[in-house]
A and B are shown apart, each in its own frame.
Chain A
Amino acid sequence: MIEVSQLVKKYGDFTALHGISFSAKKGEIIGLLGPNGAGKTTTMKILSAFMPSTSGTTKVAGFDVFDDPMEVKKRVGYLPETPPLYTDFRVKEYLEFVAGIKHLAGSRLKERYEFVIEHCGLRDRQQSVINNLSKGFKQRVGIAQAIIHDPEVVILDEPTVGLDPVQIVEIRNLIKNLGSNHTVILSTHILPEVTMTCNHVVMINRGKVLADGSVESLTQGKGESLEEAYLRIITQDAHVVETANKGDS
């Protein structure tokens, strides 16, 4: 469903991604982990065909994001870190507009609209102006727009930020449900969440993949929690860089 190979992204002199490779099958929920500035958002922007990579290939649902961006865009739902909301609009108007630009119409639109309203818990907020919604509800509207067209791949950049514990559980269940017939990529800093939802973890730091596998394979089956594994892997990486720098000077 997703194949990323040797992805490099340079912003001027700064290299954000140094050849990232990973892949995901249909029905997998991938947790993209890493410290701030590791390249998670950059990877997601490339996967959603928002921006091109400097080199390397990315295939989503069998289409290359560079050669066939339109086909990729039809099959991807993307929630960026800041939900892309028209704050003057009412929830219903906004979601219907998004459905329109995703080419939904008629009974299909109604059906999908009902689905996201139900599953994102927006039933009572359909007529609210988005600007007046709380952060958590804005986030739900953001998730709703990412899944309204029933995309094969759902990309969520920190989907549970700003939600209260009850909402987090709801959204987590929603993501789990999505995972049954979609491929979901999500990034988060809340590691227990990854243990609970994701069946595949890709850990990146400074634009490199440090670990790629199931949660069990990363925790080495030693009863280590994901948090401990994360700290171990990130510290190891920092140590490697330190010694490499010493070697240079």
Chain B
Amino acid sequence: MSVAGVEVVRKPAGPPVVPTGTVDEKGRPVTIACATCHATKPANPDARVGRPLVMFHQGLGGQHGNLSCASCHNPADGYASLRLADGKGVPYTDVMTLCAQCHGPQYRDYQHGAHGGMTGHWDLTKGGRARNNCVDCHAPHAPKYPTVFPAFGPNDRFQTGGGHE
């Protein structure tokens, strides 16, 4: 399990692939890399959400500030990587570097163990620790933490309602 002294940050999968909706002869879904299409079809640089698009990506709704697709997705290598604000590419697995550009305070808190869930040891000399990365909890295209239904509440005798209007 966890190894002493080691803090493991979960990493997202590599570059995304797009399902084509078909399967190959072995039943595996056929997917294609971004560049397959984008080599010939230039992206709309103004696009902010997927919905208005006519081919692919229509399901990508949500809201992430005023960012456009190209703010984060790197056209330079056929969208196989992410793009930092200075134009440099960064692999998908290092997505946190990208997020940190805008979300400095959160990234700082994260680095100090004060943001993002973790499991394992507080005392790293006794064992390791596993941590989430940004996109484990925040969907990149709709990063606001979703509303959830809470786990069961107290069931004390004689406690009726909240006690409050």
Q: Do A and B bind each other?
A: no
**Interface, chain A (partner B; CB < 8 A):** none
**Interface, chain B (partner A; CB < 8 A):** none
